[in-house]
């Protein structure tokens, strides 16, 4: 993606494709809605919202709220929660949020409560993405928040002003099918594969001050330059980002889950080429997508992110040669080519000796 710099008169909030964080036995009886808040904001503006908590247990619960920033962790884009003092001020939001006027929240058995909160955007707030989370947790014996037992909602705010959308494709290569995102920096790419699947990895660097959602496609071409199709499965998402179905397509979707790369961070996306997808109908009436095909030869994988003049493209080559199967075939062919004449000569001599003995024919030589 070419580096862009835009001045926006509005503000928005984007989701990092992550939901509420829940751990512990105590918090397991609590549900929180919504799992995320997305706001447009201007400097100096005050936002008011409500967190809804439901106690599904049989005990009255007392919860203490806490607020933390979050940053992107590792290559998967998962959140890592930090205090404002540990975070980049340009991305922080935790000091802007007040929950329930700092009062303790009590929820009766099978009860519901609505907990109000406010976000006061400073007049000098830096434009771009700001990321935080509102947590609820039972108090520890010491009166401190039990960090290991909490449930929370993410808060993402995009403050209006001068927005920098800048990023670049760090790499696009083929890897073994067992590759994980966090192995990308310590694993060498591959060219030769004995069979499918092949992992195609894309790593994106977000150099801007706002989160970015790199989406696109990977197309596969054979030795003769012909496009291989179909090769991919696309998830059909509703307006809330929930998958409602699947669709077989002639490309491999990239970032089909619509995950974001936070400002000033990297993120790796892994996609797989598994062969030709098709619908398989089970005896019980359900259906599932399976893959077939036995590709042999040189292939080219072409990545396209975005569209038009701003599109980013990259190419990697893959040699698929099922050497075990091909090797066995070569051995069999060699046996047929070189062994059959010898076998025929031996067999003819054996038959000749047999009939000489049968008819008592002497060798005239």
What tens-digit pLDDT sequence spans the chain (365 residues)? 444 333 333 333 333 333 344 433 345 588 898 888 889 899 999 999 999 999 988 888 899 999 999 988 889 988 889 888 888 878 899 999 999 998 999 999 999 999 999 999 999 999 999 999 999 988 865 545 444 578 999 898 999 999 888 899 999 999 999 999 999 999 999 999 999 999 999 999 999 988 888 999 999 999 999 999 999 999 988 776 678 899 999 999 999 988 889 888 999 999 999 999 999 999 999 999 999 988 899 999 999 998 888 899 999 999 998 866 655 556 566 666 766 676 666 666 766 676 666 666 555 54
Place of tokens 């710099």: 5
Same domain, 171 and 281: yes
Q: Are residues 49 and 103 in the same domain?
A: yes
Residue 311 shares a structural domain with residue 189 = yes
Domains contained in the chain, number: 3
**pTM for the full predicted model:** 0.73
Q: Are residues 246 and 117 in the same domain?
A: no
Domain that holds residue 131: 4-164
Judge contact between 301 and 316, C-beta under 8 A.
yes
- For CA atoms 356, 359, 363, 364, the dihedral sign is negative
Q: Residue 21: what pLDDT?
A: 44
**308 and 364 both lie in a single domain:** no
The CATH number assigned to the domain holding 92 equals 2.60.40.10
Query: Which pLDDT value is given to residue 333?
Result: 63
The reply to whether 293 and 188 lie within a common domain is yes
Give pLDDT, residue 24: 36
Look at residues 146, 164, 182 and tell me which one is the last residue of a structural domain.
164
Look at residue 16 in the predicted model and tell me its pLDDT. Answer: 36
Domain shared by 174 and 141, yes or no: no
Domain identity same for 191 and 269 = yes
**pLDDT at site 179:** 96
Question: Do 263 and 210 form a contact (C-beta atoms < 8 A)?
Answer: yes
276 and 186 in a single domain? The answer is yes
84 and 198, same domain (yes or no): no
Q: How far apart are CA 229 and CA 251, in angstroms?
A: 7
- Cα distances (angstroms) measured from residue 37 to each of 47, 134, 169, 234: 11, 10, 29, 27
- Asked whether residue 187 falls in the same domain as residue 311, the answer is yes
Which DSSP string corresponds to 65-122?
A: EEEEEEEEETTTTEEEEE-GGGS-TTT--GGGEEEGGG--EEE-TT-EEEEEEEEE--
Residues 256 and 298 in one domain: yes
- Residue 92 phi/psi, 5° resolution? -75, 150
């Amino acid at each position: 993606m070419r580096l862009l710099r835009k001045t926006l008169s509005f503000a928005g909030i984007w989701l990092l494709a992550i939901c509420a964080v829940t751990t512990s036995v105590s918090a397991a009886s609590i549900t929180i809605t919504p799992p995320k808040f997305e706001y447009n904001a201007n400097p100096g503006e005050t936002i008011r919202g409500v967190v809804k908590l439901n106690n599904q247990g049989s005990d009255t619960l007392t919860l203490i709220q806490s607020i933390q920033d979050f940053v992107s962790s590792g290559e998967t884009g998962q959140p890592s929660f930090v205090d404002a003092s540990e975070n980049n001020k340009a991305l922080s939001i935790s000091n802007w949020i007040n929950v329930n006027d700092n009062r303790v929240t009590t929820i009766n058995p099978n009860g519901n409560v609505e907990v109000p909160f406010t976000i006061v955007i400073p007049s000098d707030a830096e434009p771009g993405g700001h990321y935080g989370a509102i947590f609820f947790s039972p108090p520890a014996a010491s009166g401190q928040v039990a960090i290991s037992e909490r449930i929370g909602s993410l808060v993402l705010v995009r403050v209006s002003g001068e927005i920098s959308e800048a990023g670049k494709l760090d790499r696009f290569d083929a890897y073994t099918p067992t590759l994980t995102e966090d192995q990308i920096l310590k694993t060498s790419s591959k060219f030769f594969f004995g069979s499918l699947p092949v992992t195609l990895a894309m790593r994106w660097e977000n150099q801007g001050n706002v989160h970015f959602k790199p989406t696109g496609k990977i197309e596969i071409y054979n030795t003769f330059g012909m496009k291989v199709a179909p090769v991919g499965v696309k998830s059909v998402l509703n307006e809330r980002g929930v998958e409602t179905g699947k669709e077989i397509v002639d490309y491999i979707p990239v970032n089909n889950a619509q995950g974001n790369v936070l400002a000033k961070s990297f993120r790796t996306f892994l996609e797989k080429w598994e062969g030709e997808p098709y619908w398989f109908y089970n005896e019980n009436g359900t259906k599932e997508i399976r893959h077939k095909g036995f590709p042999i030869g040189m292939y080219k994988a072409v990545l396209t992110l975005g569209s038009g003049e701003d599109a980013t493209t990259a190419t990697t080559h893959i040699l698929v040669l099922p050497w075990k199967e091909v090797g066995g075939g070569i051995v069999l062919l060699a046996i047929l080519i070189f062994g059959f004449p010898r076998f025929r000569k031996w067999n003819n001599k054996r038959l000749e000796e047999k009939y000489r003995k049968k008819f008592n024919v002497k060798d005239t030589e």
